[in-house]
Amino acid sequence: MAEPESLRCSSVRNRGGVQRVEGKLRASVEKGDYYEAHQMYRTLFFRYMSQGKHAEARELMYNGALLFFSYNQQNSAADLSMLVLEVLEKSDTKVEDEILENLAKLFSLMDPNSPERVAFVSRALKWSTGGSGKLGHPKFHQLLAVILWKEQNYSESRYHFLHSSDGEGCAQMLVEYSSSRGYRSEVDMFVAQAVLQFLCLKNKNSASVVFSTYTEKHPSIERGPPFVQPLLNFIWFLLLAVEGGKLTVFTVLCEQYQPSLKRDPMYNEYLDRIGQLFFGVPPKQSPSYGGLLGNLLNSLMGSGEEDDVAEEAHEDSSPIELD
Q: Is residue 242 part of a domain?
A: yes
Cβ-Cβ contacts under 8 Å for 105 (sequence gap 6 or more):
66
Cβ-Cβ contacts under 8 Å for 120 (sequence gap 6 or more):
78, 81, 82, 85, 106, 107, 110
Contact 213, 201 (CB under 8 A): no
Q: For residues 203 and 274, what is the distance between their CA atoms, to the nearest angstrom? A: 11
Q: Is residue 260 part of a domain?
A: yes
The string of pLDDT tens digits covering residues 74-126 is 999 999 999 999 999 999 899 999 999 999 999 999 999 999 999 999 999 99
Question: Please, what is the angle between helix 230-244 and helix 247-256, to 10°?
Answer: 170
Q: Is residue 21 part of a domain?
A: no
Buried b or exposed e, range 233-263, using 16+ CB within 10 angstroms: bbbbbbbebbeeeeeebbeebbeebeebbee
What would you measure as the largest C-alpha separation in the chain, in angstroms?
77
Contact 172, 131 (CB under 8 A): no
Task: Using alpha carbons, select from 306, 187, 300, 175 the residue that is nearest to residue 235.
Answer: 187
Total domain count, the chain:
1
Range of 185's domain? 173-285
Classify the C-alpha dihedral 171-174-179-180 as positive or negative.
positive
Nearest-5° Cα angle at 295, 291 to 297: 120
Q: Is residue 292 part of a domain?
A: no
What's the pLDDT at 83? Answer: 98
What's the pLDDT at 2? Answer: 47
Half-sphere exposure of 276 (CA within 13 A, CB side): 21
Task: Using alpha carbons, select from 245, 234, 162, 150 the residue that is nearest to residue 198.
Answer: 162
Q: What is the DSSP letter of 95?
A: P
Task: Using alpha carbons, select from 196, 200, 268 the residue that is nearest to residue 235.
Answer: 196
What would the DSSP string read from start to end of 126-185? HHHTTTSSSS--HHHHHHHHHHHHHTT-HHHHHHHHHTSS-HHHHHHHHHHHHHHHS-GG
Global pTM? 0.84
Q: Is residue 244 part of a domain?
A: yes
Cβ-Cβ contacts under 8 Å for 54 (sequence gap 6 or more):
48, 87, 90, 91, 93
Q: For residues 11 and 285, what is the distance between their CA atoms, to the nearest angstrom? A: 62
Q: Is residue 200 part of a domain?
A: yes
Q: Is residue 52 part of a domain?
A: no
Contact 154, 127 (CB under 8 A): no
CATH number, domain of 184, equals: 1.25.40.10
What's the pLDDT at 285? Answer: 67
What's the pLDDT at 284? Answer: 78
Q: Is residue 51 part of a domain?
A: no
Residues of the chain with pLDDT under 50: 1-3, 6-7, 9-11, 287, 303-323
